[in-house]
Structure 1
Amino acid sequence: MNMNERIAAWNEEAQQCACGHQHRVVDMLIHLEAGAIQRLPGYLSEQGYRQVTVVYDRHTFRAAGSDVLSSIREAGMHVDEIALPENRTGDIIADEAAIVQVMLGVRLESQAVIAVGSGTIHDLVRFVCSKMNKPFLSIPTAASVDGFTSAGAPLIVSGIKQTFQAVPPEAIFADMNILEQAPQVMTAAGFGDMLGKYTSLADWIVSRDLGGEPFCPVAYRMTEEALHTCIDHVQAIAEGRAEGVAVLMDALIVSGISMLIIDHSRPASGGEHHLSHILEMDLMQAGERPVLHGAKVGVACALITVKYKELAQTSGEQVFGIYDQLPEASQLIAWLEQVGGPVTTEQLGVTPEMVEHAFNTAHTLRPRYTGLRYINEVLNTRLG
């Protein structure tokens, strides 16, 4: 089945699911193929969009933005452009200033907004589209993150990383010709984001059993299968082969859809993501580059796995046995190294003090029960 047929099957299964969680019907067109962006002008015409806005940065302009703009104009449509500037460390940050820039650049007459880029540009566009009630279209330029299909927008507001529910794209044009040309460090980040599903899925079991939080077996299985498919193709991903990049992008899309179906990030984000967010905020406060999201998640997954396996052996709580089923941290590190991603906090530019701060505070970032929350609120309190 192609992706759109699989979405229909997941929708049907989710609507029959008896988990008690509300399930969103996912209505999204996805083209994951070579030459996907060539379908964009036809789609815009079918939808009756005559005036659109394209958001990019200098890197994604070269990767795809220039071709996207040309093809839309050649089809006789009007295009407004928003070129996002880099900050002093050479990054685009999804903060208040960037939100305002995108919002000011989208005219009221614009009928849709097209994000050309990876995670940050997509988060900004999905948030602005939710506030301006505009359709949002996605053109990924790297298989670097699982947020392309989700509705959540992680943003930095008042220096704090927060996730806001926004809108998913109504269509995604994931062009393999573009994705294959992305730097391997971006592909490695996407793999790191997927690797983090080991601990996020385990944490979801813990949140269900100890925190009484909602749990959906359909969303769980979707994410788990996507993760295992990535591991089965790790060598092809490491070599940047078309087969590997396609598998990775497919998995990232599926992970995003699993979050979309239950309108929550529980399947794909646990203690490892919370650690990553604290490290990102600390790096920004120190004036350092925050590093790719997936790179931080991969390293954080290996770090927290050590703590979780210790917890499984010492806590006496039966539910923490799920952490014993995680791969060894050494195996997680080996996979990250194989695909060309960072494997140590030093490679991320993170200090030991930042790591300690993250382990001590990350559990407060989201109202979600995780092994990390238990370690801080129960285990450390008991020991202290």
Structure 2
Amino acid sequence: MSEVLLRRLLAGNLRDPDSGEGIAVPTRKVTIAPSLRGGEAALIADLGLGSRLALIADPTTWQVLGARVSGALAARFTVTPVILPERPHADMETVQRIRAATSLAEGLVAVGSGTINDLAKYAAFLDRKPYACFGTAPSMNGYTSVNAAIMDGGVKKSLPAAAARGVFLDVDILAKAPRRMIAAGFGDSICRPTAQADWLLAHLLLDRPYRALPFQLLAEDETALLASPEGLLSGDPEAITRLARTLVMSGFGMTICGGSYPASQGEHLIAHFLEMRGDPAGANFHGEQIAVTTLTMARIQGETLRLEQPRLAPAPATIGTFLSFYGADVGATCWASFAGKLLSGERLAAVNHRLTQDWPEIRQAIRAVHRSATALESTLRRCGAPTRPSDIGLSDERYAEAVLHAREVRDRYTFLDLAADTGTLTRLVGATPVPAQ
């Protein structure tokens, strides 16, 4: 059924359950196959990337798949490899380096996973060039999204990016990825319930837009993966295929919604804060961080949902405190985002009135999509994913700071905000600044 949903989505034959309208995505082709060897050029040929292609990789992804793809494409195209340094950073400096190196190319082909893909699709967006991607690991959900996570001026931003015209995933290659990267992909996907709960909260409490379709796209494969994550550790082709399809569908969910809302909420804010403040555990994969932060958000959501009658009493916040804590440039950027969701005066009164009137219904709706931290932790452990801050090299104090301040870096209203404004967040972090045991 999940494979059928993917085919219908690409063909434009899927209907939105909320509106009944047809759904279209800009990606033309997604191929998830046991092996793509020998067919690489044919996959690219009808995508309209032009005759001069730049292939973006790093030394590892070049060795794993890039050299093979480059050789195959060279039979039909002029190919210029652009090999970035090992473990490149997704920042503006690297984007500009790619743009300079690909100035003569008509199209870009990324060979890699998270960082390589983000860099290539953002460079493609800036230069208005088409691009496609050959994935090397089922480690993140950005292959089919139209946003890129880029560090800009010390702030981690989700920026508009080009849509991949084609995404090609060789299951044999994916299954040979380091177990940590596979577990990271599972970690990046397991935040679905916390992201959905946060997004639904903003919808029910503040009337923010919300859509059910992104989560319906994931349901079948997610259920199977949660029931038997051990197959990912053993490299089982069926499990790897399900994870790859889940990540692809998650990316499409973001594309359909015009932003990362269905896949990036409070759990990602904590990770973004850590990166902005110079996460000392820089060797971690993004999905490893999200595995840990998802458990934190699940616990915060669960505790906040236990409140019988929450009432918001936000602590005063000023641009001065932001500038003092973050510095002038980053502080001003964060304040500009945070100020948009500040609740005060009539707006605060209206939200408190809604909580008084509708909290039982709001709580019931969110509980229907929420998963407990205990259940999620058990599943992550069975997959070999990290579950505690110490697993990713963070002290309890450093992690507690991130949980307390993460809501300040974006304008998204999440359970971090509701918990902070009801006094729940300080109580939870002060008592146990780590995920549930």
Counterpart of 1:312 in structure 2 is: 305
Secondary structure, in 3 states, of the residue corresponding to 1:206? helix
Q: What displacement does 1:366 show?
A: 2.2
Q: Amino acid of the residue matched to residue 370 of structure 1?
A: T
- Kept in 1, the 8 Å contact 2:185–2:287? The answer is yes
Q: Deviations over 1:218-238 (max 9, x none)?
A: 223224444323213412123
The answer to whether structure 1 residue 51 and structure 2 residue 95 are counterparts is no
Any residues of structure 2 matched to 1:241-320 within 5 Å, and which? 241-284=236-279, 286=280, 288-289=281-282, 291-314=284-307, 316=309, 317-318=359-360, 319-320=362-363
Counterpart of 1:151 in structure 2 is: 146
Q: What displacement does 1:155 show?
A: 0.6
> Looking at CA atoms only, which structure, 1 or 2, has the larger radius of gyration?
2
Counterpart of 1:370 in structure 2 is: 414
Any residues of structure 2 matched to 1:46-85 within 5 Å, and which? 46-47=46-47, 49-73=50-74, 75-85=75-85
Q: What displacement does 1:116 show?
A: 0.6
Secondary structure, in 3 states, of the residue corresponding to 2:14? helix
User: Which whole-Å CA distance do the structure 2 matches of 1:299 and 1:381 have between them?
Assistant: 17
Secondary structure, in 3 states, of the residue corresponding to 2:169? strand
The alignment covers a number of residue pairs equal to 373
Taking only the aligned residue pairs, the percentage that are identical comes to: 26
- Kept in 2, the 8 Å contact 1:24–1:260? The answer is no
Counterpart of 2:109 in structure 1 is: 114
The answer to whether structure 1 residue 355 and structure 2 residue 399 are counterparts is yes
- Kept in 1, the 8 Å contact 2:196–2:263? The answer is yes
Structure 1 residues not aligned, in runs of 5+: none
Secondary structure, in 3 states, of the residue corresponding to 1:38? coil
Counterpart of 1:40 in structure 2 is: 40
Counterpart of 1:204 in structure 2 is: 199
Secondary structure, in 3 states, of the residue corresponding to 1:94? coil
Cα 1:206–1:71 shift into 2, 3 Å: same
The answer to whether structure 1 residue 136 and structure 2 residue 131 are counterparts is yes
Secondary structure, in 3 states, of the residue corresponding to 2:411? coil
Q: Deviations over 1:16-49 (max 9, x none)?
A: 74299x9654442011002225333124433463
In structure 2, which of residues 174, 182, 197 is the aligned counterpart of residue 179 of structure 1? Answer: 174
Q: Amino acid of the residue matched to residue 98 of structure 2?
A: V
Structure 2 residues not aligned, in runs of 5+: 310-358, 428-437
Structure-1-length-normalised TM-score: 0.90
User: Which whole-Å CA distance do the structure 2 matches of 1:301 and 1:7 have between them?
Assistant: 28
Secondary structure, in 3 states, of the residue corresponding to 2:71? helix
- Kept in 2, the 8 Å contact 1:229–1:251? The answer is no
User: RMSD of the TM alignment (CA)?
Assistant: 2.4
The answer to whether structure 1 residue 28 and structure 2 residue 31 are counterparts is no
Q: Deviations over 1:134-160 (max 9, x none)?
A: 111011100000111000100111221
- Kept in 1, the 8 Å contact 2:32–2:170? The answer is yes
Cα 1:225–1:200 shift into 2, 3 Å: farther
Q: Deviations over 1:243-301 (max 9, x none)?
A: 111110011101111111121111111211111211223344x4x41511111111111
Counterpart of 1:6 in structure 2 is: 8
Counterpart of 2:351 in structure 1 is: none
User: Which whole-Å CA distance do the structure 2 matches of 1:337 and 1:111 have between them?
Assistant: 45
- Kept in 2, the 8 Å contact 1:148–1:253? The answer is yes
- Kept in 2, the 8 Å contact 1:274–1:366? The answer is yes
Q: Amino acid of the residue matched to residue 238 of structure 2?
A: E
Counterpart of 1:95 in structure 2 is: 91
Cα 1:40–1:97 shift into 2, 3 Å: same
Q: What displacement does 1:330 show?
A: 2.4
Counterpart of 1:195 in structure 2 is: 190
User: Which whole-Å CA distance do the structure 2 matches of 1:71 and 1:114 have between them?
Assistant: 13
Cα 1:175–1:3 shift into 2, 3 Å: farther
Q: What displacement does 1:93 show?
A: 1.1
User: Which whole-Å CA distance do the structure 1 matches of 2:229 and 2:99 have between them?
Assistant: 39
Q: Deviations over 1:178-215 (max 9, x none)?
A: 11110110000000011111100111211110121111
